A and B are shown apart, each in its own frame.
Chain A
Amino acid sequence: MALTRKFVDELRAIVGKDGLIVSDEGRLVYECDMHTFYKGLPDAVVLPATSAQVQAIARACRREKIPIVPRGSGTGLIGGAMAARGGVMVGLNRMNAILEVDLPNRCATVQPGLINLWLTNAVRERGWFFAPDPSSQMVSSIGGNVSTNAGGPHCLKYGITTNHVLGLELVTGSGELVQLGGVVADRPGYDLVGAAVGAEGTFGLVTAVTVRMLHAPEAVKTALASFTSMEAAAEAVSAIIAAGMLPAALEMLDSVMIGAINAGVGAGYPEGAAAVLLIELDGPNAEVEAQAVRAAAICRERGALAVRVARDDAERALLWKGRKEAAGAVGRLAPTYLLQDAVVPRSKLPLIMRQMEEIARRHGVLIANVFHAGDGNLHPLICYDDRSAEELARAKLANEELLEAAIALGGSVTGEHGIGLDKAKNLPLQYADADLNFMYRLRGVFDPDRVMNPDKLLPAHPACGEGFRPQRPVVPAGAWV
């Protein structure tokens, strides 16, 4: 859909010459986010500086029925920030100011483009932090975290993004600027913040976020336990939780991933082990000490080869750097991969690991594993070479089978990455018709003309290309939603 010259002029008048990108080369680099599999060229990219500019853009697009695609740092893993139907991409990364830090009231208000980690960096010396820590936190934006309701290693204990958002300023698809929620925790009326977090830009564009700030724990201890099999590691995870501990994080990596991370980040993970468990405990000093001893004992009982505790902050930071840059480090194994985000009930982890090995063998694909073992959130990276159509086909098959296996075990199609374009088609596996239709109508309240991020989050109707399909397969028995 080519934009008219008049409309481009209008955009330029709103954001200024430096905020508008219409060159072929410029638009090209915005055709995908980290999920490079799905590409869609926007007709223009705008980089607004204020909420007022965002609102003016939304109004102009609604008037002309031109799609709007919000984008933060472009690190999404679900094809969320790509222009499936062209239109105007709104990059919010220049709106990256910390508007207010209000520690007495344990909150801060930031612009959506602020990089997640920068918020913690700004308050760390005062002993505070922002809890949601998706692995991309050194680059992903808080607006993007809000839109996908991002999780992260530490959400096992601290909860996902939605648990940390108090208020939102939102420019809706209807062009209105509304305040949802706010600093005070108990607000009367509908919990619209809860509805808008995770909306993936289908309700509108987030222009400010008020988030919960937390006191940094007194002590933090990080340990690495290595195992001879993924199953043994998975059993140790279940045993730790069954013993009544709630670690801040419980992450698992397989040998393929360990190799990539050591090569890419030099993180010094033990080579030769089939699985490594990264265990982080935090809280009051005495409690952390006692729990560390118990967790180590449990790992040894389950046949751990070795348990090593990080000696200092530098070693801890390096272990985490390795974990957080895992998805990037996989570039050392293969140029492209499909990244699955399925969830299984934690108790089913050993089972799904076995099934995964089987699936990988059957399709002859290399799978690197890194995942949030504590909450059963898998992240198999299925490697393939995109120059080979045949390899891609095999990777896709393995991907679909894995997803089905997870659902069959009572799991969910996505844990923390969101739905985007990638998973919209899988949603009917998990929701009933009535539920999906209702969501579709809710979307219409915020975005009556359906300009906001089309084709994302909700499955498309095969006939009219939008909305939800009225017939669907039955939800598998015992689906774990």
Chain B
Amino acid sequence: MASGPASAFTGPDAPDLDALRKCVHCGICLPQCPTYHVLGEEMDSPRGRLYLMRAAAEGRIALTETLGQHVDRCLGCRACETACPSGVPFGQLLEATRAQIERHGTPAHRGLLTSFLYRVFPNPARLGTLLGPLRLYQRSGLRRLVRVSGVLRLFPRLAAMEAMLPDLPRGVELPELTGARGTRRGRVGLLTGCVQRHLYPHVNRDTVRLLSVAGYDVVVPRGQGCCGALALHAGRLEEFRGQASALAASLGGEVDWIVTNAAGCGSAMKEYGHWLPDVPAAQALAARTRDVSELLAGAHLPLGRLDATVTYHDACHLAHGQRIRTQPRDLLRRIPGLKLVELMDSDLCCGSAGVYNVLEPGMADALLERKVARILESGASIVASGNPGCLLQIQKGLRARGAAIEVVHPVDLLARALTERA
């Protein structure tokens, strides 16, 4: 096809046609796709989305509003990538397509809220400033008033956001350097993460403790920014590249590994190589990034008894984004007394997906409902998951059902079982 119609994709970072053509339309990915589960429509399946992207690339269709909707509705969970035998890099194609849509004008149905979210979340300082008043709001009893008055029902997206907030903890200051205990295995830098730092600061504290017991010197570089995951998933590539370069500069010190305990961050950081091929520091960072479970899996941890029935939810950006499934489970199983029960459809997205739950509350709620039902069936009293977004989302779902099931990061349980005190 020498002179076919012009592609709807233009400029740099256009989705790679050869990658799109790898899709042989077999449909194996369909049953794994959360949006296909809920909607049962081909355009909201991975195969359908790829078909639309390819049609746009081949100039058969333009970047229409309708195409944008189907692309927006994708959670970016990458379950389709895990399923695909043909090796279609769905995540990268999705992000590149979103960048095209972003470039050709923001879809009308988003607007202010979106840019507000993308400005606040990735900026630890701004997020902190915003959370200050929220803490006040929670403590003052205003929260009950607002909930009771039903004001939020008028603004479903604000409601989605409000319901997500757990009770805010007080911040935790981490030392810049914590020395290794026992046999020294190396030196790691910790990414504290925008959401983790403010909503689950104890997870960072526990991560430091566990890594130190495991034999690592843990450095927590000051002034680290955001990994850029949210911008990347939204197709805001310029913003993403800026954040990624800055992070690579601030975390790039003398360490063997960069550790994250937030699946979304780790997954994005491991993709730096693809998106910033000309930035050596970013390449290096990508190669050295590890999820906390990867490092702990190979270390000795002195663990005491913890009697509990626990189930594990696979965060998409661990299971699909980083292919990490066994390490967190194996770690939990190492805790004496802890009974790990499998969760049905454990790797089906909970609907959190970054800020998706705020942008597409209907779909997010439908997925959350399924997730909560499976958790209740599992009979566990604790559900563990390696991503703060999932923790927030699942907590919200369980609270709405009035279920007394604890939602924690696996690191949290490991730290509770740790017999050696820091």
- Write the residues of chain A forming the contact surface with B, with a CB cutoff of 8 angstroms: 21, 23-26, 28-30, 32-34, 36, 47, 73-75, 91, 93-94, 96, 115, 136, 138-140, 261, 263-265, 325-332, 335-337, 387
Give which listed residue, B21, B64, B84, B86, contacts A25 with CB less than 8 A: B64
Q: Chain B contacts of A335 at CB under 8 A? A: 18, 21-22, 24
Q: Is A29's CB under 8 angstroms from B85's CB?
A: no
Residue contacts A-B, CB under 8 angstroms, 30 given: A25-B52, A25-B61, A25-B70, A26-B42, A26-B43, A29-B43, A29-B48, A29-B51, A30-B42, A34-B27, A47-B41, A74-B25, A94-B40, A139-B26, A139-B27, A139-B28, A325-B85, A326-B85, A327-B24, A327-B26, A328-B24, A328-B26, A331-B22, A331-B26, A331-B85, A331-B88, A332-B86, A335-B22, A336-B24, A387-B1
Q: Bound complex: CA of A138 vs CA of B42, how far in Å?
A: 16
Q: Bound complex: CA of A30 vs CA of B44, how far in Å?
A: 12
Q: Chain B contacts of A261 at CB under 8 A? A: 85
Q: Chain B contacts of A265 at CB under 8 A? A: 85
- Interface bracket on B: 20 to 34
Q: Smallest distance from the beta carbon of B36 to chain A beta carbons, Å?
A: 9
6 closest Cβ pairs, A-B complex: A331-B86, A328-B85, A325-B85, A331-B24, A328-B26, A264-B85
Q: Bound complex: CA of A75 vs CA of B26, how far in Å?
A: 6
Q: Smallest distance from the beta carbon of A458 to chain B beta carbons, Å?
A: 26
Q: Chain A contacts of B67 at CB under 8 A? A: 25
Interface positions, chain B 275-306, Cβ under 8 Å from A, are none
Known: A139-B27, A328-B85. A23 touches B66 (CB 8 A): yes
Q: Bound complex: CA of A336 vs CA of B24, how far in Å?
A: 7
Q: Chain A contacts of B376 at CB under 8 A? A: none
Q: Chain A contacts of B47 at CB under 8 A? A: 29, 74
Q: Smallest distance from the beta carbon of A75 to chain B beta carbons, Å?
A: 5
Q: Bound complex: CA of A21 vs CA of B55, how far in Å?
A: 18
Q: Smallest distance from the beta carbon of B23 to chain A beta carbons, Å?
A: 7
Q: Bound complex: CA of A74 vs CA of B40, how far in Å?
A: 12
Q: Bound complex: CA of A73 vs CA of B24, how far in Å?
A: 15
16 additional contacts, CB 8 Å, given A264-B85, A335-B21?
A21-B41, A25-B52, A26-B42, A29-B43, A34-B25, A34-B26, A73-B30, A75-B26, A326-B85, A328-B85, A331-B23, A331-B24, A331-B86, A331-B87, A331-B88, A335-B18
Q: Is B28's CB under 8 angstroms from A26's CB?
A: no
Interface centre among A32, A94, A327, A328 (most CB of B within 10 A): A328
Q: Bound complex: CA of A389 vs CA of B86, how far in Å?
A: 23
Q: Bound complex: CA of A26 vs CA of B22, how far in Å?
A: 21
Q: Chain A contacts of B64 at CB under 8 A? A: 24-25
Q: Bound complex: CA of A309 vs CA of B234, how far in Å?
A: 48
Interface centre among B1, B25, B47, B88 (most CB of A within 10 A): B25
Which residue from chain A places its CB closest to the CB of B88 in the assembled complex?
Answer: A331
Q: Is A264's CB under 8 angstroms from B26's CB?
A: no
Q: Chain B contacts of A30 at CB under 8 A? A: 42
Q: Bound complex: CA of A25 vs CA of B23, how far in Å?
A: 18
Q: In this assembly, does B153 line the interface, its C-beta being within 8 Å of a C-beta of chain A?
A: no
Q: Chain B contacts of A73 at CB under 8 A? A: 27, 30
Which residue from chain B places its CB closest to the CB of A77 in the assembled complex?
Answer: B26
Q: Bound complex: CA of A331 vs CA of B67, how far in Å?
A: 25
Q: In this assembly, does B119 line the interface, its C-beta being within 8 Å of a C-beta of chain A?
A: no
Q: Bound complex: CA of A28 vs CA of B85, how far in Å?
A: 24
